[in-house]
Amino acid sequence: MATTPLYRGSTAYAKVMRGATEIERIYKGSTLVFQNDATPSAAWGRVETGIEHFYDFSEDAGTTIADTGGSVAPADLIIPDSNKVSWIGGGGLSVTSSTRIETAAAVANFSNAVIASEAVAMEAWVIPANLTQTGPARIATVSGDPSNRNIMIGQGVYGSTADRIECRINGFAENKIDGALRSPVGSLTTTMTHVVISLNAAGDLEHERLYVNGVEQSYQYMDRPYQWSAGYKLAIGEEFGSTTRSWLGSIYLLALYSRGLTAAEVLQNYNAGPTAP
């Protein structure tokens, strides 16, 4: 059994070969936080084409989360109260009390690029603090207020269960605008979880798809993004204009694409783990 370790700060990455099975493991210090079994492939790296904003939470300190996506208009996230978060060594941020971490200005380049491409994806690696927060509790959102948004990943269903993901893309979805996609009850736990919401262009029959841990959970027909606003900012942890949709937990990666991701690309990013070396 061969092991290939890679390091980034206090984070260790290991590939273990057991016969024809490739096991990928990620450790924070001495704690195993992620393991995935897969056949050997080139999926160790992430899909980078089409990324507009990217956050790996590797700062380890301070109140700024750098956007390293390479956009012509980088949009760093600003932590308003450092007492409500704690940094995770090696790459990650734990939101411990209700707060909204947001960009200083609108992510206009992202929104305009999506309007032009008519396709979009948002991806996150998270560990929820509990299975009681709903609203949906805002893991990440590009929006103006609870009723007006471009795209959102959340935890829980309002007035219902919290052990599932709910996502929304503003667009014409099966004869309604902004229809929600939800993963099944019990699909979300308090362990490391990979979430992707994706809308591909016409070549994929214009379907909006929700993936959890590399597996498609639900989908619906969506014609295109509709009435997207270039004036919305990006936030994690809480909705704009709200104090009742707080999300608590740890976030290790957030990526915004101005194109959809195929099922194979979602799986590739899942196989890469929460922080690809």
Give the integer Cα–Cα distance in Å for 5 and 274.
16
Domain assignment present for residue 43? The answer is no
Q: Would you state the torsion angle of the CA atoms of residues 222, 223, 228, 234, taken in this order, to the nearest 10 degrees?
A: 30
Residue 122 in any domain: the answer is yes
- Decide if 44 is inside a domain: no
Q: Rounded distance, CA 241 to CA 230, Å?
A: 18
In the DSSP assignment, the letter for residue 214 is T
Q: Does residue 236 fall inside a structural domain?
A: yes
Residue 221 confidence (pLDDT): 82
- Residue 126 sits in the same domain as residue 25: no
Buried b (16+ CB within 10 A) or exposed e, 78-94: ebeeeebbebbebbbbb
> Based on the domain organization, do 56 and 89 belong to the same domain?
yes
**pLDDT value for 11:** 47
Say whether both 141 and 217 belong to one domain.
yes
Type of residue found at 201: A
In a domain, 160, yes or no: yes
Residue 7 is predicted with a pLDDT of 42
Both 64 and 129 in one domain: the answer is: yes
Token pair in block for residue 243:
């104090």
The separation between the first and the last C-alpha atoms of the chain, rounded to the nearest angstrom, is 21
Provide the residue-wise pLDDT of the chain in tens; the chain has 277 residues.
344 444 444 445 555 544 444 555 555 555 555 555 544 344 358 999 999 999 999 999 999 999 999 888 899 999 999 999 999 998 999 999 999 999 999 999 999 999 999 899 999 999 999 999 999 999 999 999 999 999 999 999 988 899 999 999 988 665 455 578 999 999 999 999 999 999 986 555 568 899 999 999 998 887 778 889 999 999 999 999 999 999 999 999 999 999 999 999 999 999 999 975 4
Q: Are residues 24 and 154 in the same domain?
A: no
Q: Are residues 24 and 86 in the same domain?
A: no
Based on the domain organization, do 130 and 265 belong to the same domain?
yes
Region for 272 from its dihedrals, namely left if φ exceeds 0, alpha if ψ lies in -120 to 50, beta otherwise: alpha
Looking at the fold, whether 25 and 94 belong to one and the same domain comes out as no
Residues 34 and 59 in one domain: no
The confidence score (pLDDT) of residue 43 equals 39
Asked whether residue 116 falls in the same domain as residue 27, the answer is no
Q: Does residue 231 lie in a domain region?
A: yes
Q: What does the pLDDT read at residue 3? A: 42
- The domain that holds 62 is classified in CATH as 2.60.120.200
The answer to whether residue 215 is domain-embedded is yes
45 is a domain residue: no
Which pLDDT value is given to residue 72?
81
161 and 66: one domain? Answer: yes
Number of domains in the chain: 2
Determine contact, residues 49/259, Cβ cutoff 8 Å.
yes
**Nearest CA to 197 among 212, 178, 177?**
212
Residues spanned by the domain of 192: 51-272
Answer yes or no: do 226 and 109 share one domain. Answer: yes
